């Protein structure tokens, strides 16, 4: 794992936006895996800015989102389809037919998950997967004890996750407790991974993921097995790591090597 510790959440967003722009420039027909939640919002804003400055085009980019609430249609303000349109897709030159999100309103969700998985394969797999992490170590909606080789499927959300996302729903709004999510096996097949986490609330999950044992109790710890995973965090999220100075030292060495 490459661990990049930034001084602020703003710097972490700068890093991830730059990382994505470089990846798109390097491969204009790239397939991106995307995440929702609060973590990537600033990164998406920066991507929009970069696009408006003619710095990057999404014309040939394909996207697959990690997950969607089961039971919400794409026009529901709390659906992840709605979120992605609002926070990114409506503001860039992406072809909407190349943006994919599990169909939360499918009458046959199990089949829809299998079809989603097949579509990812058909399109040649994911080149770069952007991830956030839950306070309980989940990635996508793969909650603790999820199979570490799971594929896209319907999952029950933990009470923790439902509570963490409650602020997005008004009291009258139905908050789903089920979701469709790429599996950990699906995520692990992405050729490159970029996980972004900021704030003290993520510190324990980051520690478990980076320095803890490989365990289904912390689904993100499976990323220890990935050949090309970059973890970008701010100082607050890095607070419980034992060896931040070592990670920083490696980064410095890396910068020196790159500048040679
Ligand atoms: C979202 C997703 C989740 C979030 C995680 C962190 O598509 O898959 O795993 O990345 O719950 O959420 P935030 O960023 O809101 O803290």
* DSSP for 111-133, written as a single string: HHHHHHHHHHHHTT--SEEEE--
Residue linked to tokens 């204009």: 28
Quote the pTM value. Answer: 0.97
Residue closest to 68 by CA, chosen among 47, 43, 44, 37: 37
pLDDT grade, residue 149 (50/70/90)? very high
- Per the residue annotation, which of 65, 67, 68, 165 is the catalytic one? 67
Q: Are 197 and 132 in contact (CB under 8 A)?
A: yes
Could you confirm whether 76 is annotated as catalytic?
A: no
Q: Are 73 and 79 in contact (CB under 8 A)?
A: yes
* Edge-to-edge strand ranges of the sheet holding 62-65: 2-6, 229-234, 192-197, 128-131, 31-34, 62-65, 99-100
Ligand 1 pocket, mutate which of 132, 160, 164, 187 (most atoms under 8 A from CB): 132
Q: Mean pLDDT over residues 68-72, rounded? A: 96
Give CA separation, 211 vs 4, 164, 203, 238, in Å: 14, 24, 12, 11
Domains of the chain: 2-132+145-259 (3.40.50.1360)
Q: Which two tokens stand for residue 248?
A: 């920083």
pLDDT higher than 90, residue 154: yes
pLDDT higher than 90, residue 147: yes
Ligand 1 pocket, mutate which of 35, 131, 135, 160 (most atoms under 8 A from CB): 35
pLDDT grade, residue 164 (50/70/90)? confident
pLDDT higher than 90, residue 241: yes
pLDDT digits (tens, 9 = 90+) for 176-230: 999 999 999 999 999 999 999 999 999 999 999 999 999 999 999 999 999 999 9
Q: Are 157 and 86 in contact (CB under 8 A)?
A: no
In this structure, the strands spanning 128-131 and 99-100 are unpaired
Ligand 1 atom at minimum distance from 161 CA:
11
User: How high is the pLDDT of residue 172?
Assistant: 87
Cα dihedral: 232, 152, 72, 192 (round 10): 20
Q: What is the DSSP letter of 175?
A: -
Residue nearest to atom 3 of ligand 1 (CA): 140
Report how far ligand 1's centroid is from the alpha carbon of 23 (Å). 22
Residue linked to tokens 């609002």: 86
Question: Nearest 5 degrees, angle CA 235-CA 32-CA 25?
Answer: 85
User: How high is the pLDDT of residue 161?
Assistant: 87
Ligand 1 atom at minimum distance from 39 CA:
14
pLDDT grade, residue 33 (50/70/90)? very high
- Per the residue annotation, which of 68, 117, 127, 143 is the catalytic one? 143
- Per the residue annotation, which of 138, 142, 165, 234 is the catalytic one? 138
Cα dihedral: 182, 183, 187, 188 (round 10): -170
pLDDT grade, residue 260 (50/70/90)? confident
pLDDT grade, residue 165 (50/70/90)? confident
Residue nearest to atom 15 of ligand 1 (CA): 37
> Quick one: what percent of the chain has pLDDT higher than 70?
100
pLDDT digits (tens, 9 = 90+) for 7-21: 999 999 999 999 999
Q: Which residues line ligand 1 (CB under 6 A)?
A: 35-39, 66-67, 132-134, 138-141
Could you confirm whether 143 is annotated as catalytic?
A: yes
């Amino acid at each position: 794992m490459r661990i990049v510790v930034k001084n602020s959440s703003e710097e972490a967003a700068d890093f991830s936006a730059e990382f994505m722009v470089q990846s798109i420039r390097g491969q204009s027909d790239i397939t991106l895996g995307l995440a929702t939640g609060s973590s990537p919002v600033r990164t998406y804003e920066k991507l929009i800015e970069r696009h408006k400055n003619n710095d990057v085009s999404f014309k040939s980019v394909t996207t697959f989102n990690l997950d969607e609430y089961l039971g919400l249609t794409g026009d529901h303000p709390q659906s992840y389809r709605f979120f992605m349109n609002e926070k990114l897709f409506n503001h860039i030159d992406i072809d909407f037919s190349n943006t994919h999100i599990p169909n939360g309103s499918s009458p046959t969700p199990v089949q829809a998950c299998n079809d989603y998985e097949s579509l990812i394969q058909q399109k040649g797999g994911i080149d770069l997967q952007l991830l956030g992490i839950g306070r309980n170590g989940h990635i996508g909606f793969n909650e603790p004890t999820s199979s570490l080789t799971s594929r896209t499927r319907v999952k029950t959300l933990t009470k923790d996750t439902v509570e963490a996302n409650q602020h997005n729903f008004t009291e009258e709004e139905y908050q789903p407790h089920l979701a469709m999510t790429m599996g950990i096996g699906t995520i692990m097949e992405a050729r490159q991974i970029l996980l972004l986490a900021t704030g003290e609330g993520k510190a324990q999950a980051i520690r478990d993921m980076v320095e803890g044992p490989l365990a289904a109790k912390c689904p993100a710890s499976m990323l220890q097995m990935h050949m090309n995973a970059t973890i970008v965090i701010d100082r607050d999220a890095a607070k419980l790591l034992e060896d931040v100075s070592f990670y920083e030292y490696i980064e410095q060495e890396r910068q020196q090597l790159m500048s040679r």
